[in-house]
Amino acid sequence: MVGIIRLNFHINAPIERVATLYQQIERIPEWQYDILEVKDVDGPLRLGAAYTMVYWRMGRRLEQRMTVTRYDPPSVMQQTANTPLGGVMTSTTHLQPSEGGTDVRWQMEYRLPWGLLGSILDKLLFRAAFERTVTQYNANFKALAEGTELPYKPIQGRVMR
């Protein structure tokens, strides 16, 4: 079973500023508050580029290698990864200029491991947790792009190449 989470929101900043922030992979720990670091960045952002995000989850460090699978700047960026627990996810962000700023359409498709058990856990637990987390990530991203205070403070942020 594939889970899908969609979020749409508006950022009061021009698309150039929003796209530039989104393209700065090394800044992910500033807005994804449970990312300890971004490492193994293999060069500038482009189709096929990859990097590793190190999360703090369940009291331990978990690594997730992200690969850019679609890149049409400044409008579209898509990344795919195998998750630390054995699932697969694809995150797609669409940016569109709008009056007074930028409209963002964000979608994550994911598949949990464990077959039927994974489907049950998704319905009971994971989907709500994923949706809450990515809503908070995007609130931080919006605040960072607009130059306002982050509503959810980062644990720690650093880059290791």
Reported as a single tens digit per residue, the pLDDT across 96-113 is 999 989 999 999 999 988
The reply to whether 159 falls in a domain is: no
The mean pLDDT value of the chain amounts to 91
Q: 48 is in which domain, residue-wise?
A: 2-153
Task: Tell me, yes or no, whether 161 lies in a domain.
Answer: no
Q: Quote the pLDDT of residue 29.
A: 94
| 57 falls within a domain | yes
CB 71 within 8 A of CB 46: yes
**56-66 tens-digit pLDDT:** 877 889 999 99
The dihedral through the CA atoms of 25, 27, 32, 38 has a sign that is positive
Q: Would you say residue 58 lies in a domain? A: yes
Task: Please check whether residue 63 lies inside any domain of the structure.
Answer: yes
Q: Alpha-carbon distance 145 to 158, whole Å?
A: 19
φ/ψ of 28, rounded to 5, equals -50, -45
Strands lying side by side in the sheet with 2-11: 2-11, 101-111, 88-98, 76-82, 60-72, 50-57, 35-39, 158-160
CATH number at 138 reads 3.30.530.20
Count of structural domains, the chain: 1
3-40 residue pLDDT tens:
999 999 999 999 999 999 999 999 999 999 999 999 99
Residue 23: predicted pLDDT: 93
